[in-house]
Chains A and B, each alone.
Chain A
Amino acid sequence: MIKVEKLFFTYPGRKEPTLKGMDFTIKKGEIFGFLGPSGAGKSTAQKILIGMLKNYQGGVHIFDQEVSQVRRSYYERIGVAFEFPNFYQRLTAIENLSLFRNLYAGDTAVPAQLLTEMGLMESAHMKVAAYSKGMKMRLNLCRALLNNPDILFLDEPTSGLDPLNAKKVKDKIISLKEEGKTILITTHNMSTADEICDRVAFIVDGKIELINSPRNLRVLHNKRKVRLEYRRKDHQLVTSEFDLQGIGTNHDFLGILQTHNVETIHTQEATLEDIFINVTGRGLK
């Protein structure tokens, strides 16, 4: 669906390229995540894929066309939610959606239905000027879905959302994937990526350091240890770690289980965040 080869991009007036040779492919029906610290080039890469930035080097094939050559009909088939949600402030949410909906020639979604799914129906007739950041973010997703796009580009779709609304957005993204949509999302939020992405790309400094599924990454970086906390007879809290390998016959481990009051017991999974720091030597923030 999307094939990117040796992608370089330099903003005018900059000496250093912002993107320094990216290669990746995204399959139909996949949720693909761009992860990386601020300034890594995630939004820049996304702007190239949506045909906005054209002076790039390398190849970007989407729907079997080079994206710098696409016609305006390309926009019938993609949906975009920019990082910052911008609307006509003096129009209501539903007016904004119907305005944008009418710009498409193909079949479109019903604005009221999208608003309902995003929990905005009660505020449908409110001017966007009176919307909170989180409401605008959800409205931004609604707008990206108006034309029933085959590919969705979502830049930080859950930023500024409370956990409940973030869940609404994540559930919607997953249900879109089930409908066969291809979705590229950008985020700094590792747990969001972990929950919804089929594969993630770690982007640092304009380069992709690694591409893999969150599950594979966790397995690869798993420390394969069990940690437990228990109370000794004198009520002192003690923490011990054991290898996962052969744990069923580990006498020390079994002894503690039998004779002590165990309070917590966990396998030591590496979070995506740990893995990111491990692989790139960089934090996410």
Chain B
Amino acid sequence: MRFPAAFLYDIKIQFRHGLYAVYMLVSLFYIIALHQIPEQYREIAGIFITFSDPGVLGFFFIGGLVLLEQNQNILDNLFITPYKVEEYIFSKALSLTVLSVLTSYIIHISVFGVSHYLVLFLVGVFLTSMFFTIFGLGVAVRCHTLNGFFFLSSIYSLIFLLPLLEITGMDHFLFMLLPTKGALLLISSGFHSITTWEAIYSVVMLLSWGVIAFIWARKSFYNMIIRKASEGKTL
């Protein structure tokens, strides 16, 4: 019962902080904007927007949520219960990912219709969002203020956004090692079919990076929050 409850309450808290309302507006904006774009560019714009917004949204919102709990000293209260750090991270990531998947689906069907095969597309958004949210949590626990978080997260995220240069024609074989390439491939499957190998490559990359991010975020959380609290350092 612990995990489902924590997960549902995370969604409720995000809802109460207006994240869902904001995202309805943002989605509406994207839908209108995409309709304005000339047909031949609409697809590439769709891929780009889906990746950079619903996909990466968790990365930025997780910072707000974790800093909020940290500043209100709620973390102390959470971790004098049997709640585990792993559950905490997973619940946060999964709850924000729900919002990502939901908004990218709504944007997609409102702009491009329901005719496409969307399972791989949604898997792509799901894995992208899980990776970026967990990664963002690892960044957030290193920060004390939202400004600090935005500064640090821009630096951390830059490297993962490099493969976006592909759109401008620049490419590098090392981009293949980043999860971003896989994310873009899977998201593009919502517009035109990709090969099985491309799909496998993408899922494997995103999953591996997800696991790496999880291990890193968990370690960061222990070092920056739990261990500091256990030494009596003020956060």
Q: Is the CB of A12 within 8 A of B231?
A: yes
| Docked complex: B76-105 residues within 8 A CB-CB of A | 76-78, 80-84
Interface size on B, residues (CB 8 A): 25
Q: Is the CB of B82 within 8 A of A99?
A: no
Q: Is the CB of B6 within 8 A of A102?
A: yes
Q: Is the CB of A52 within 8 A of B80?
A: yes
Question: Would you give the shortest CB distance from A173 to chain B, in whole angstroms?
Answer: 19
Bound CA span A87–B232, Å: 21
Q: Is the CB of A103 within 8 A of B232?
A: no
Bound CA span A73–B83, Å: 9
Question: Would you give the shortest CB distance from B28 to chain A, in whole angstroms?
Answer: 24
Flag whether B1 is at the interface (Cβ < 8 A).
yes
Q: A90-B13, A143-B77 are in contact. Are A73 and B82 (CB under 8 A)?
A: yes
| Docked complex: A81-139 residues within 8 A CB-CB of B | 82, 84, 86-91, 95, 98-100, 102-105
Best-surrounded residue of B5, B9, B84 (most CB of chain A within 10 A):
B9
- Tell me the number of A-to-B contacts counted with CB atoms below 8 Å: 85
Q: Is the CB of A84 within 8 A of B77?
A: no
Bound CA span A100–B82, Å: 10
Q: Is the CB of A99 within 8 A of B5?
A: yes
Q: A86-B74, A87-B74, A89-B72 are in contact. Are A100 and B81 (CB under 8 A)?
A: yes
| Docked complex: A12-55 residues within 8 A CB-CB of B | 12, 44, 47, 50-55
Judged by DSSP, the binding face of B is helix
Question: Would you give the shortest CB distance from B84 to chain A, in whole angstroms?
Answer: 6
Bound CA span A25–B95, Å: 45
Flag whether B35 is at the interface (Cβ < 8 A).
no
Bound CA span A78–B2, Å: 17
Q: Is the CB of A52 within 8 A of B230?
A: yes
Q: Is the CB of B72 within 8 A of A82?
A: no
Q: Is the CB of A104 within 8 A of B13?
A: no
Chain A positions within 8 Å of B73 at CB level: 82, 84, 86
Bound CA span A86–B80, Å: 13
A75 partner, pick from B74, B80, B229, B233, beta carbons under 8 A = B80
Q: A82-B76, A84-B73, A89-B72 are in contact. Are A104 and B81 (CB under 8 A)?
A: yes
1/0 per residue A238-273: CB within 8 Å of B? Answer: 000000000000000000000000000000000000
| Docked complex: A137-173 residues within 8 A CB-CB of B | 143, 147
A12 partner, pick from B76, B78, B232, beta carbons under 8 A = B232
Chain A positions within 8 Å of B116 at CB level: none
Chain A positions within 8 Å of B219 at CB level: none
Q: Is the CB of A50 within 8 A of B232?
A: no
Bound CA span A89–B74, Å: 10
Q: Is the CB of B72 within 8 A of A86?
A: yes
Q: Is the CB of B1 within 8 A of A102?
A: yes
B2 partner, pick from A51, A102, A143, beta carbons under 8 A = A102
Q: Is the CB of A103 within 8 A of B83?
A: yes
Closest A residue to B17 by CB, please name it. A90
Chain B positions within 8 Å of A100 at CB level: 77, 81
Flag whether A63 is at the interface (Cβ < 8 A).
no
Best-surrounded residue of A44, A52, A82 (most CB of chain B within 10 A):
A52
Question: Would you give the shortest CB distance from A259 to chain B, in whole angstroms?
Answer: 65
Question: Would you give the shortest CB distance from A134 to chain B, in whole angstroms?
Answer: 19
Q: Is the CB of B77 within 8 A of A72?
A: no
Closest B residue to A50 by CB, please name it. B80
Best-surrounded residue of B17, B73, B74, B80 (most CB of chain A within 10 A):
B80
Q: Is the CB of B74 within 8 A of A88?
A: yes
Chain B positions within 8 Å of A104 at CB level: 2, 81-82
Question: Would you give the shortest CB distance from B92 to chain A, in whole angstroms?
Answer: 14
1/0 per residue B191-235: CB within 8 Å of A? Answer: 000000000000000000000000000000000000001111100
Top 6 A-B pairs ranked by shortest CB distance?
Answer: A102-B5, A90-B16, A103-B81, A54-B230, A86-B73, A99-B9
A-B contact pairs, 6 of them (CB 8 A): A76-B82, A87-B72, A91-B9, A102-B1, A102-B2, A147-B81
Q: A53-B231, A86-B72 are in contact. List 16 more A-B contacts (CB 8 A).
A: A9-B232, A11-B231, A47-B232, A50-B80, A52-B80, A53-B232, A75-B80, A86-B73, A87-B72, A88-B72, A90-B16, A91-B9, A99-B5, A100-B77, A104-B2, A104-B82
